Structure 1
């Protein structure tokens, strides 16, 4: 993590990504536990992603912004 606090827009986008992960998971009728099994992650990690807690996504958002490219271009 950068030593300075993250810009508000990063926190907002991180939460939005978590919301989309949760929506996609529930649309597939998967529990956090089952998604964890499918990904090799534990339920707590899935929960942290959905709750918008700090992850690698923060760094990717900052890099995409600095390069002036959509995040989706970096993670296809």
Structure 2
């Protein structure tokens, strides 16, 4: 992987639960140093779908939230928690 991993912009307003999910998936993925392709492979999802999730462009099913959570080794509920500012 040649490109550096960049986490989500903490100043981005999280207006919807879809935005929260997008922020958290990207945060956990970058923390684990995974590319979108690696996360997609681990979750059994396409890289383009992971990209769409991280940009809050798709309505994600509970099943796919669970697949992402398992691949990221976090609870599914953690992906839906509003992050607290540090």
Task: Provide TM-score, normalisation by structure 2.
Answer: 0.50
C-alpha separation between the residues in 1 aligned to 2:58 and 2:35? 21
Gaps of 5+ in 1: 1-8, 58-71
**Which of the pair has more CA radius of gyration?**
1
Count of residues paired in the alignment? 49
1:31 has 2:44 as partner: no
Gaps of 5+ in 2: 1-14, 63-76, 78-86
Please list every run of at least 4 consecutive aligned residues from structure 1 whose deviation after the TM superposition is greater than 2 angstroms: none
RMSD: 2.0
Task: Provide TM-score, normalisation by structure 1.
Answer: 0.56
